[in-house]
Structure 1
Amino acid sequence: MAIHTRRTQGSYAHMAIFFSFLAIASFFFDSPAQIAAGMQRILFSPSNLLTDYMEIAGVGAALFNSGMIGLMSLLLLRVTDVEMDGAAIASLVTMGGFALFGKNLFNSIPITLGALLYARVQIIPFRDVVITSLFATSLGPLVSELSFGLGLSRMSGIAAGYAAGLIVGFVVVPLSKACMNFHHGYNLYNIGFTAGLIGMFAAGILRMFDLQVETVLILSCGNDVILSVLLLTLFAILLVSGLHQNGWSFNGYWQLMTHSGRLRTDFVKKCGYGLTLINVAIMGSIAWLYVVMIGCSLNGPTVGAIFTIMG
């Protein structure tokens, strides 16, 4: 009887396939010209919540943006020699989700550079903070809003946005460590909590200069069927891959569910890569089913939320 050995490390190749699937799928929704025009609208959008890229740029451009952001983030992890563990997978999938409604290459770069600057000042490897820097790009809309949403001149706006992004990237690492003391690991998205505090501080500073950030509600609808097909295909691929890695069984899944999940619980290391993929597929399916059952439309924010749950 063959003994199955659990794999305790993720796969760069699998993540590349995941995001390549999203990028390639975009061309089934829109033409290359439409996607190029949509990407331009995405890059120059203020992008504050809730800006659905599927509405302002098209489903194809939104998926292409998600795929490209994911692949570039994956390349960054590869270059910095980061192990593909649970945290790395979570950061990548979360990046892909947020890239559907607020995150893009323009507003992510300065935050990542700010974290790189912090690593240089502290004389630590960038590898130690790169995952934190990816999560911190959740504040990308701050960069875009300063650049394009406050009526500043193009050059002044971009300079202000990138300066803010560099500051955010620089301070988010030490602040995130301090914020862990507030929730003791019971908030899985610790950087989200940290980013919320930074965002409130930034909004307060803008109000001091009579600069108001207007909330928006730009949402798409009418794409439920095709997006459901896309998501269910992804879930099926993840489930089959997980079962293959786990010896074509759900053996050990109950043990995975008995873990508290507190930070920093790494399911890839504790339970194996196969079971982690199975869990990702199941959680994504449950999230999709919930959205459908309550009658909510599948759009950038809801699909992005599903991706975040998967991560």
Structure 2
Amino acid sequence: MQGETMRYNRMHLFFWLYAAVLALAAVLFSSPEEILTGLRTIVCTEDSLITDYVLIAGPGAALMNSALVTGISIVLLKLSREPFNGFSLVVIGLMSGFSLFGKNFVNIWPILLGTWLYAKSRREHFGKYISVGLLATALAPAVSYIALDNGWGNPVAGLITGVIIGFIMPPLSAYTYKIQNGMNLYNVGFACGLVAFLLVPLISSMGATPTTQYHWAEGYDLPFGAALGTLCVILILAGLFASGKPVLSVWAGYRRLLTTSGRAPSDYLRMFGAGPVLVNMGVNGLIGMAFVLGGGGELNGPTVGGILTIMGFSAFGKHVFNIAPVMAGVFLGSLVMHWELNNPSVQLACLFCTTLAPISGYFGWPYGVLAGFIHSSVVLYTGSPVAGMNLYNNGFSGGLVATVLYPVIIAVFQHRKPTLVDQDYFDPMEHDEPVTPPPAHQITEEKEV
């Protein structure tokens, strides 16, 4: 237990340092007056996709909002009394990233309240559901829209809607996980998409007129690129030289990490330790930046949020060998489909398509390319029916693709019996030290028919 406490404290300090860096960057970008004015604009905006806070409120306000949301997430994770692990890094990555374009320090609270009420109704500790509650804030734009839409919604209706969303997300996300067989890392995004598909028609039938938005900042490649690149390099160096392990040991751990499929749940922090995970985060962040800039895209709120998401999931399923084929599939789609790689929605698809990384890691790179190719088209059409209310739209489309591809690949191409991974590769009572993952044949637990 002492080792677990030490790891918890180290991650806690690391998270607060990250939040402080975001706040410092905000002050460097904008004056305090501009930040306060921008935060007011953010809170009073309806937030549906794509609403880039960098454009509507300025980079300082966007980064300060990210720092505030990150701080709230850290406090809630600590109060939950649940030990930090790889998924904690996922939560921080998503919350900080998406608070650059859709989540703010006000519209997330009704959903969190709903999740807390669900835990109380079950007479269980809130810590069991805190991660789901935080990720369910993908539907925070629905709260903002209903609360702020002049002539239709009101704050009370927005509050009630958020509470209902937070209340139903824990059981719904538990169910959707089962039908995706661990092949879609953004499981909560899939669940949120289902809720949005019910919610938007409901409020539209009552007179609301929600629509997708297009607020996309340009011209920030140099400052955001320099900041992100520096962060990634620091993570790599910290993993190699400041993790308390010999460099060769860290590198060997990273090489073993690259052999995993990434099928959920795969907690890399508990499987390999901090060093290889930090290296993986830095490498994947640089890959995300290279893909955006190489495709003629922009570094702004949404794309930086996508890169931070990739870096967060680098502790829970993503690595260069399983994300590259899926991203290549999106690139292939740009060559034959009627859209360009520098289209904003496609840029986001290039980053968030990595939700399907387990397909590539589990079945092989050709299937990863296929998944990315299909996803690049599907994701462009799943946002409109939900009017941009689900920030994890790629998670929803990724869930659709995974649900279809998994049984088809298993039955038609590989002739195996499908099984579900229920447990992660570590002992939940003894996870102080990294655990080497079992051999591939034990991981898949599948037999030839």
TM norm structure 2: 0.66
Structure 2 unaligned residues grouped into runs of 5+: 1-5, 313-449
Q: Do 1:8 and 1:272's aligned partners in 2 also have CA atoms closer than 8 Å?
A: no
1:149 shift after superposition? 2.9
How do 1:32-181 and structure 2 match up within 5 A? 32-152=32-152, 157-181=154-178
Match of 2:199 among 199, 202, 205: 202
CA distance in 2 between partners of 1:306 and 1:273 (Å)? 20
Amino acid aligned to 2:196:
G
Residue aligned with 1:288, SS? helix
Q: Do 1:38 and 1:58's aligned partners in 2 also have CA atoms closer than 8 Å?
A: yes
CA distance in 2 between partners of 1:79 and 1:301 (Å)? 29
2:295 is aligned to 294
After TM superposition, the structure 1 stretch with the greater mean CA deviation from structure 2, 249-258 or 21-30, is 249-258
1:307 is aligned to 308
2:379 is aligned to none
Amino acid aligned to 1:121:
S
Classify 1:215/1:150 alpha carbon distance in 2 versus 1 (closer, same or farther; 3 Å). farther
1:3 is aligned to none
1:233 shift after superposition? 1.6
CA distance in 1 between partners of 2:252 and 2:119 (Å)? 41
Q: How many residues are matched?
A: 302
After TM superposition, the structure 1 stretch with the greater mean CA deviation from structure 2, 240-249 or 297-306, is 240-249
Q: Do 1:8 and 1:273's aligned partners in 2 also have CA atoms closer than 8 Å?
A: no
2:263 is aligned to 262
CA distance in 2 between partners of 1:82 and 1:134 (Å)? 14
1:26 shift after superposition? 0.7
Q: Do 1:150 and 1:211's aligned partners in 2 also have CA atoms closer than 8 Å?
A: no
How do 1:223-302 and structure 2 match up within 5 A? 223-243=220-240, 244-245=242-243, 246-249=245-248, 250-302=251-303
Work out which structure has the larger RCO, using CA pairs closer than 8 Å and 6 or more positions apart in sequence. Answer: 1
1:120 shift after superposition? 0.1
Question: How big is each residue's C-alpha offset from its partner over 1:26-72, in whole Å with a ceiling of 9 and x where there is no partner?
Answer: 11110011001000000111001100000000001101111111111
Q: RMSD of the alignment, in Å?
A: 1.4
Question: How big is each residue's C-alpha offset from its partner over 1:90-120, in whole Å with a ceiling of 9 and x where there is no partner?
Answer: 0111100000000001110010110000000
CA distance in 2 between partners of 1:150 and 1:293 (Å)? 41
CA distance in 2 between partners of 1:82 and 1:35 (Å)? 34
Question: How big is each residue's C-alpha offset from its partner over 1:276-308, in whole Å with a ceiling of 9 and x where there is no partner?
Answer: 111111111100111010010111111111111
After TM superposition, the structure 1 stretch with the greater mean CA deviation from structure 2, 47-56 or 11-20, is 11-20
CA distance in 2 between partners of 1:105 and 1:8 (Å)? 28
Q: Do 1:136 and 1:172's aligned partners in 2 also have CA atoms closer than 8 Å?
A: yes
TM norm structure 1: 0.94
Structure 1 unaligned residues grouped into runs of 5+: 1-6
Identity of aligned residues (%): 35
2:180 is aligned to 183
After TM superposition, the structure 1 stretch with the greater mean CA deviation from structure 2, 191-200 or 142-151, is 142-151
CA distance in 2 between partners of 1:240 and 1:68 (Å)? 27
Classify 1:232/1:183 alpha carbon distance in 2 versus 1 (closer, same or farther; 3 Å). same
Q: Do 1:8 and 1:269's aligned partners in 2 also have CA atoms closer than 8 Å?
A: no
CA distance in 1 between partners of 2:201 and 2:150 (Å)? 15
Residue aligned with 2:247, SS? coil
1:15 is the counterpart of 2:12: no
Residue aligned with 1:47, SS? coil
CA distance in 1 between partners of 2:235 and 2:17 (Å)? 11
Larger radius of gyration: 2
CA distance in 2 between partners of 1:76 and 1:242 (Å)? 26
Question: How big is each residue's C-alpha offset from its partner over 1:122-169, in whole Å with a ceiling of 9 and x where there is no partner?
Answer: 0111010001111111111010011113533xxx61111111100000
1:8 shift after superposition? 7.0
CA distance in 2 between partners of 1:217 and 1:263 (Å)? 33
After TM superposition, the structure 1 stretch with the greater mean CA deviation from structure 2, 241-250 or 117-126, is 241-250
Amino acid aligned to 2:288:
A
After TM superposition, the structure 1 stretch with the greater mean CA deviation from structure 2, 245-254 or 70-79, is 245-254
Match of 1:212 among 196, 199, 209: 209
CA distance in 2 between partners of 1:63 and 1:251 (Å)? 36
Q: Do 1:8 and 1:268's aligned partners in 2 also have CA atoms closer than 8 Å?
A: no
CA distance in 1 between partners of 2:74 and 2:275 (Å)? 20
Q: Do 1:47 and 1:102's aligned partners in 2 also have CA atoms closer than 8 Å?
A: yes
Amino acid aligned to 2:217:
S
